[in-house]
Amino acid sequence: MSITSIILYVTVSVWLVWLSIADIRKGEVSNWLTVPPLLLAVAWQTVRGKWAVAFLFALVMIIAEWPSSWPLGMAGIAGIWRYVVDQGLEATMMSWMVVLILWFLNVLGGADVKAIMTLMVLFPDSRLAWMLLLSGVMVSFLYAIRHHGKNLPRVLWATLGTIHRPVADDVTGKAPAMPVLALAWVTYLFVHIL
């Protein structure tokens, strides 16, 4: 393992701990803690020759701002699919699509989505994608059960009816998912890298 890899793993681990502390303390993570790392990760992969990630990032930003642009996004993805596969970014692309959908459904918060996107740009491994996505969905589901109990079906129905519109916290009942994402990252490190 190279010294660059070790520095990257340690830096990402410290960043996730910092995000987790912010998420637990305030119940939210500010954009200045998630956007710059995401932009740096996209720029780093683009400079390394994986330019398709910059195109995918642009498509995600367009879809996030204008949800009715899904057809344009799908056409763009279909147009560069060959390059995504050639550059080994299929796990990144698929996880980005899934977390974007989960964000629209109010399952994951914006900071959680940006953290997962950053990790998947830096480490485009499908095993990491599964660990992050399943842990994020699991913690949200368990929190929803604990928070809403037998009213969960009504709350889920209300949440689905408010896709991409502001929803009161008492309706969504999101848990601080960043600590779970950090735990999934540490597990991935120990199982697949170290």
Confirm if 113 and 99 have CB atoms less than 8 A apart: yes
Using one digit for the tens of pLDDT, what is the confidence trace for 149-160? 777 676 666 655
Using one digit for the tens of pLDDT, what is the confidence trace for 26-59? 888 999 999 999 999 999 999 999 999 999 999 9
* The overall pTM is greater than 0.75: yes
The span from the CA of 42 to the CA of 189, in Å, is 21
Q: Give the domain range for residue 57.
A: 3-193
Mean pLDDT of the chain: 83
Using one digit for the tens of pLDDT, what is the confidence trace for 71-112? 888 888 889 999 999 999 999 999 998 888 888 877 778 898
User: In the prediction, which pLDDT does 150 show?
Assistant: 73
| Mean per-residue pLDDT, 12-31 | 92
pLDDT band at 178 (very low <50, low <70, confident <90, very high): confident
User: In the prediction, which pLDDT does 175 show?
Assistant: 63
Confirm if 91 and 120 have CB atoms less than 8 A apart: yes
pLDDT band at 162 (very low <50, low <70, confident <90, very high): very low
164 in the Ramachandran plot: left (φ > 0), alpha (ψ -120 to 50) or beta? left
Question: Residue 80: which of 93, 97, 98 has the closest Cα?
Answer: 93
Sign of CA dihedral 35, 32, 37, 132: negative
Report the number of distinct structural domains present in the chain: 1
Does the pLDDT at position 3 exceed 60? yes
Cα–Cα distances in angstroms (integers) from residue 126 to residues 18, 48, 94, 141, 157, in the given order = 25, 20, 9, 22, 31
